[in-house]
């Protein structure tokens, strides 16, 4: 059931027919279990707050919408008459485009608000903003500097709040990453993902999600750039609970060894520009290359949430058949669609449950 780039000419229709038949035989009980999961009215600030079944349900809905809309060419106005407020304290290509195009495709109306339009906590308090937007919209997606801003919005709003990125977590990116891996490998359970780079918000979201999907996680970060201590403690607890491995190291090759997936991200995030010279020096030796992949498993692939810089991964890997980055970017749309549909409706997927 794998939609591999290694076999890009394989028939999508044949793949989905196979998915349907195998799912019906092997995952009927699991589908019934996930079918009872209802996320309507919930917020999504971090996948730490979501159970294994809830995350699987989000991925299932996302895959279902992608199949029905992209491949079956169906029109599904599931969000007709609904609107989303998009608050962006930080610029973005993928978060903005995926949310605007996805929400519109489902019949809804996106409203984009930059720091020039809305000054959270400056001209108006977060409390008042949350209450005002609750009267205008059905859901808010906020891409903010501080995670505490999201928590305040969520406390005061009467509608769901979605984390479009904060300094602590980036949950919507991780949903796209795991949908991409599920499509490529056919299942997630037992995969090993190796993060090589900064101990940042994207890694934190991997740490809160991987074990719940049966995925082993290894992370290599330079000394001084380790992930947050409390997030690390929770990741160890989740790995123990779900019977997976979670390993931290400062050696990129150790992290890459026997891995299915190599992942990195920007070394210099927004707001860290003044640290660029020091960071480039500290991250020397962390570039992902074919040499890094030489110690990974034979079917290894590469992910990057973008935008990418040459120092993080070389062209030979980034533009190779092992790179899933553009499918990963596209899946930002399908997973944000799956998320908002799950939070705002009682939608039930029409395709058999994905294999996890």
The pLDDT profile of the chain, 356 residues, written as one tens digit per residue, is 443 434 443 444 444 444 444 433 333 456 778 889 999 999 999 999 999 999 999 999 999 999 999 999 999 999 999 999 999 999 999 999 999 999 999 999 999 998 888 877 777 899 999 999 999 999 999 999 999 999 999 999 999 999 999 999 999 999 999 999 999 999 999 999 999 999 999 999 999 999 999 999 999 999 999 999 999 999 999 999 999 999 999 999 999 999 999 999 999 876 777 788 899 999 999 999 999 999 999 999 999 999 999 999 999 999 999 999 999 999 999 999 999 999 999 999 999 999 99
For residue 18, what are the contacts with CB-CB under 8 A and spacing of at least 6?
Answer: 1
Query: Hey, which residues are catalytic here?
Result: 305
For residue 231, give Cα distances in angstroms to 201, 202, 264. Answer: 10, 12, 18
**Bridge partners (DSSP) listed for residue 193:** 217, 261
What are the strands, taking DSSP E only, across the chain?
Answer: 83-88, 109-114, 139-143, 161-165, 192-196, 216-220, 246-249, 261-264, 301-304
Q: Convert the pLDDT of each residue in 78-109 to its tens digit.
A: 999 999 999 999 999 999 999 999 999 999 99
| Burial group, residue 172, by CB count within 10 angstroms (0-12, 13-18, 19+) | buried
Handedness of CA 332, 99, 96, 173 (dihedral sign): negative
Residue with tokens 């009872």: 36
Per the confidence metrics, is the pTM higher than 0.85?
yes
């Amino acid at each position: 059931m794998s939609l591999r780039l290694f076999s890009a000419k394989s028939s999508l229709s044949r793949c989905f027919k196979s998915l349907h038949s195998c799912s019906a035989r092997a995952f009927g009980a699991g589908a019934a279990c996930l079918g009872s999961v209802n996320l309507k009215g919930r917020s999504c600030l971090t996948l730490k707050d979501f159970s294994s079944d809830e995350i699987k349900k989000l991925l299932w809905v996302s895959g279902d919408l992608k199949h029905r809309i992209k491949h079956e060419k169906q029109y599904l106005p599931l969000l007709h008459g609904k609107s989303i407020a998009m608050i962006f304290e930080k610029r973005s290509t993928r978060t903005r485009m995926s949310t605007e195009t996805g929400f519109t495709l489902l019949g809804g109306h996106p409203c984009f608000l930059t720091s020039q339009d809305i000054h959270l906590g400056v001209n108006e308090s977060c409390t008042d903003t949350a209450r005002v937007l609750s009267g205008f919209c059905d859901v808010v997606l906020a891409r903010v500097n501080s995670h505490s801003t999201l928590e305040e919005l969520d406390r005061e709003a009467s509608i769901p709040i979605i984390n479009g990125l904060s300094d602590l977590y980036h949950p919507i990116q991780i949903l796209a990453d795991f949908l991409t891996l599920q499509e490529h490998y056919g299942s997630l359970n037992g995969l090993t993902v190796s993060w090589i780079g900064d101990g940042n918000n994207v890694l934190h979201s991997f740490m809160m999600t991987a074990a719940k999907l049966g995925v082993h996680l290894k992370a290599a970060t330079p000394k001084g750039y380790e992930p947050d201590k409390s997030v690390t403690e929770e990741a160890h607890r989740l790995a123990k609970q779900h019977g997976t491995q979670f390993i931290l190291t400062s050696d990129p090759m150790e992290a890459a060894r026997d891995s299915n997936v190599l992942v990195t991200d920007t070394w210099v995030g927004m707001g860290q520009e003044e640290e660029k010279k020091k960071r480039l020096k500290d991250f020397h030796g962390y570039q992902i290359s074919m040499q890094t992949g030489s110690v990974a498993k034979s079917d290894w692939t590469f992910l990057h949430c973008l935008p990418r810089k040459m120092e993080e991964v070389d062209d030979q890997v980034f533009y190779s058949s092992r790179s899933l980055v553009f499918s990963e970017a596209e899946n930002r749309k399908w997973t944000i669609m799956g998320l908002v549909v799950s939070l705002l409706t009682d939608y039930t997927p029409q395709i058999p449950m994905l294999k996890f």
